[in-house]
């Protein structure tokens, strides 16, 4: 009986630690979401912004445009 209680206490402690970690991840993601919303409100409608995001995030190019990638990194 005592062993079962100790085992449950350890499981509770472990689950609380996981919960805290997940809450921190949620906070970080909410900040990122807020930043994205702010960007979209300020720049989201401009075609220059859309083109920049397409190039930087999605590795897209305009028709006829060539992208060069350095094998050594930046």
Please report the DSSP string for 11-22 in residue order. Answer: HHHHHHHHHHHH
Encode 30-54: b = buried (16+ Cβ within 10 Å), e = exposed.
eeeeeeeeeeeeeeeeeeeeeeeee
pTM greater than the 0.85 cutoff:
no
**DSSP H helical ranges for 44-63:** 47-58
Structure tokens at 63: 């028709």
From the first residue on, what is the mean pLDDT of each consecutive set of 10 residues in the chain (74 residues)?
89 97 98 88 76 84 83 70
What tens digit of pLDDT does each residue of 5-21 get?
A: 899 999 999 999 999 99
């Amino acid at each position: 009986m005592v062993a079962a209680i100790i085992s449950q206490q350890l499981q509770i402690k472990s689950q609380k630690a996981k919960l805290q970690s997940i809450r921190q991840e949620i906070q970080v993601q909410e900040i990122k979401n807020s930043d994205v919303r702010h960007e979209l409100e300020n720049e989201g409608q401009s075609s220059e912004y859309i083109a920049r995001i397409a190039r930087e995030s999605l590795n897209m190019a305009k028709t006829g445009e060539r992208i060069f990638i350095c094998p050594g990194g930046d």
